[in-house]
Amino acid sequence: MRYQFLLFIGLFVGTFLNAQKISDPSIFTKIITARSLQTHLNIIAGDEMEGRDTPSPGLEKAADYIIEQFKKAGVLPGNNGSYRQTFSLGKDSVTGMSLKIDDANFSAYDDFAPAMFMPPQVDLHFSEYIFVGYGIVDEKQNDYAGVDVKGKLVIFLNGEPQGYKSAQTGRNAPASLFNKIKKAMEKGAAAILIIREDLPSRLSNFSRYQMISDGAANNRFAMTVPTFYINENVVRRVSGYDLSTVKNAIGTEVSIPMVEQADISLSYKTDVSKKEVSNVIGIVEGSDKKDEYVIITAHYDHVGKDLDGKIYYGADDDGSGTVSVMEMANAFAKAKKAGKGPRRTVIFMTVCGEEKGLWGSEYYSSNPVYPLDKTSADLNIDMIGRIGDEYIKSKDSANYVYVIGDDRLSTDLAPILNDANNRYLRLKLDRKYNDPNDHERFYYRSDHYNFAKKGVPVIFFFNGVHPDYHKPTDTVDKINFELMAKRAQLVFNTAWEIANRNEMLKRDLKLQ
């Protein structure tokens, strides 16, 4: 009893002393205002930024604006003298392709088209092809029975024969396109032609940028066998039959696999066009613990424009997080100027490529500028400017935020957040998405996850989804700036505590 009593006193005194050391953030919190957030968001989510697609000129304009504001506020460049952490994207553009069978020259996109993943260059000649029907291998049938397709050209029909049944469904089902291509590759086919009624359009092919790290693109291609779709025109010219006759003949007049003589030439050439994009990183340097860090993140990219040129403004997603990070950086820089700077270095990072697959945060967490084991926590904001569907009619509608992840990786997170909230803001902290069974899986869906994966404790701040989510109507006029300022202030006060407390957050919980 006595021992516990003393321990209790000890804890109390310890907390008291700790609290004494941390300076009061109140006057700096007030720097983050509805008005200042609105001023920045009008620009970040304005017409000029064209929806901030990754990559795009609008994205670069947004990066320039963030950097300009960092400079103005006295926030230092965070990547060895630069505000940018740059990485490369690549896109294949087809510069030529041809298909010739005996005397017939076929026309690209009218008669044949390349599949999604192709080697950058193909120039192949065959004196025969092997038609394997639907190209199915399962426990009952083997369309490749008795022939060796190694180094040969394999042709099969898309889909499955009428009445075909398999217990398996999805990607790995015997008749799935993915699995049929995989089978042909495993058997050593040198090229594959797939007969389809309709060809994929020119637009759907190779129109997207991918993240490339040096050499990675080539490795991906080395795994791939050239695969083209051909349509009925080709079938008719080569066999003299239309598609339905061929289909009906399988298993009756035509037994498969069928080896046929023909002179076939196949060529294909692409150029990789590269683009550079950047994460924007600013820092406010710490004092006595400057080699430890707190990182605050949001993504400044959105989804750009549609084919008709309609802009997806992304005011909430994630213009709201971007301008909040900017204003927090401003507030920390002002605190430092006033002699109340953070003990740990605070990193302010707006990342790009989030909408494409969390690219920017993946790049940073694989190439961290500051050691992740010295990064106490990541506080990530993705959408904090709106009232989500579930609160629109609630009495808490203008006084809540979803917090996600503060029950994982560190038992320090939730008490710090609760304390910062109780002391300054008193928002309703909704933790419903912390339920590991929640089907939305928000914990895995924004940039904080790339930090969590590497063991950095994270909290994700979020307003929930609304009808304008990923629509052109996610615009500035629908933002509740008063509410957004409160939420940004909560993140600021939480960061303040993490940056100033004696110890880094302990990492005592496993990532589920």
- DSSP assignment of 249-268: HBTTTB-SSEEEEEEEEEEE
Beta bridge partners of 347: 283, 295
Q: Which is nearer to Zn ion, 157 or 381 (CB)?
A: 381
Residues 272-311, one symbol each (x = binds Zn ion by CB under 5 A, - = not), give ----------------------------------------
To the nearest whole angstrom, how small is the minimum distance from the Cβ of residue 358 to Zn ion? 10
DSSP state of 201: P
Residues 394-413, one symbol each (x = binds Zn ion by CB under 5 A, - = not), give --------------------
Q: Which is nearer to Zn ion, 97 or 328 (CB)?
A: 328
Within positions 134 to 173, which residues make up the interface with Zn ion, using CB under 5 A? none
CA angle, residues 189, 195, 197, in degrees to nearest 5? 160
To the nearest whole angstrom, how small is the minimum distance from the Cβ of residue 471 to Zn ion? 13
To the nearest whole angstrom, how small is the minimum distance from the Cβ of residue 139 to Zn ion? 45
Instruction: Give the C-alpha separation, 126 to 148, whole Å.
Output: 15
Piece of the chain touching Zn ion by CB under 5 A; list 61-69, 222-230, 317-325, 386-394: 317-325
Q: Tell me how crowded residue 406 is: count the other CB atoms within 10 A of its CB.
A: 26
To the nearest whole angstrom, how small is the minimum distance from the Cβ of residue 363 to Zn ion? 17
Q: Are strands 400-404 and 458-462 parallel, antiparallel or unpaired?
A: antiparallel
Check residue 304 and give left, alpha or beta (phi > 0: left; psi -120 to 50: alpha).
left
Q: Which is nearer to Zn ion, 327 or 354 (CB)?
A: 354
Q: Please report, in angstroms and rounded to a whole number, the separation of the first and last CA atoms in the chain.
A: 37
Piece of the chain touching Zn ion by CB under 5 A; list 195-203, 206-214, 313-321, 345-353: 313-321
Q: Which is nearer to Zn ion, 227 or 350 (CB)?
A: 350
Check residue 277 and give left, alpha or beta (phi > 0: left; psi -120 to 50: alpha).
beta
Which run of H or E residues covers position 344?
A: strand 344-351
To the nearest whole angstrom, how small is the minimum distance from the Cβ of residue 177 to Zn ion? 31
Using DSSP's 3-state secondary structure scheme, residue 240 falls into coil
Instruction: Give the C-alpha separation, 358 to 87, whole Å.
Output: 13
Q: Number of residues in contact with Zn ion, rule: CB under 5 A?
A: 3
Sign of CA dihedral 369, 88, 60, 202: negative
Q: Which is nearer to Zn ion, 128 or 306 (CB)?
A: 306
Q: Which is nearer to Zn ion, 382 or 412 (CB)?
A: 382
Instruction: Give the C-alpha separation, 367 to 393, whole Å.
Output: 44
To the nearest whole angstrom, how small is the minimum distance from the Cβ of residue 315 to Zn ion? 11
To the nearest whole angstrom, how small is the minimum distance from the Cβ of residue 495 to Zn ion? 20
Q: Which is nearer to Zn ion, 318 or 406 (CB)?
A: 318
To the nearest whole angstrom, how small is the minimum distance from the Cβ of residue 303 to Zn ion? 9
Q: Are 397 and 387 in contact (CB under 8 A)?
A: yes
Instruction: Give the C-alpha separation, 446 to 382, whole Å.
Output: 7
Q: Which is nearer to Zn ion, 235 or 358 (CB)?
A: 358
> Per rule CB under 5 A, is residue 317 in the interface with Zn ion?
yes
Q: Are 460 and 434 in contact (CB under 8 A)?
A: no
CA angle, residues 312, 316, 319, in degrees to nearest 5? 80
The H-assigned helical ranges of 74-189 are: 177-186
Piece of the chain touching Zn ion by CB under 5 A; list 38-46, 118-126, 235-243, 374-382: 374-382
Instruction: Give the C-alpha separation, 341 to 375, whole Å.
Output: 17
Q: Are 18 and 419 in contact (CB under 8 A)?
A: no
Q: Which amino acid is at 372?
A: L
To the nearest whole angstrom, how small is the minimum distance from the Cβ of residue 353 to Zn ion? 11
Residues 328-367, one symbol each (x = binds Zn ion by CB under 5 A, - = not), give ----------------------------------------
Piece of the chain touching Zn ion by CB under 5 A; list 133-141, 155-163, 375-383, 433-441: 375-383
Q: Which is nearer to Zn ion, 342 or 405 (CB)?
A: 405
Q: Which is nearer to Zn ion, 341 or 353 (CB)?
A: 353
Q: Which is nearer to Zn ion, 111 or 316 (CB)?
A: 316
> Per rule CB under 5 A, is residue 316 in the interface with Zn ion?
no
Q: Which is nearer to Zn ion, 357 or 371 (CB)?
A: 357
DSSP state of 292: E
Piece of the chain touching Zn ion by CB under 5 A; list 34-42, 286-294, 379-387, 497-505: 379-387
Instruction: Give the C-alpha separation, 23 to 297, whole Å.
Output: 24
To the nearest whole angstrom, how small is the minimum distance from the Cβ of residue 302 to Zn ion? 8
To the nearest whole angstrom, how small is the minimum distance from the Cβ of residue 23 to Zn ion? 33
Instruction: Of 321, 372, 347, 365, give the one whose Cα is nearest residue 505.
Output: 372
Instruction: Give the C-alpha separation, 333 to 316, whole Å.
Output: 25
> Per rule CB under 5 A, is residue 318 in the interface with Zn ion?
yes
To the nearest whole angstrom, how small is the minimum distance from the Cβ of residue 478 to Zn ion? 16
Q: Which residues bind Zn ion (CB under 5 A)?
A: 317-318, 382
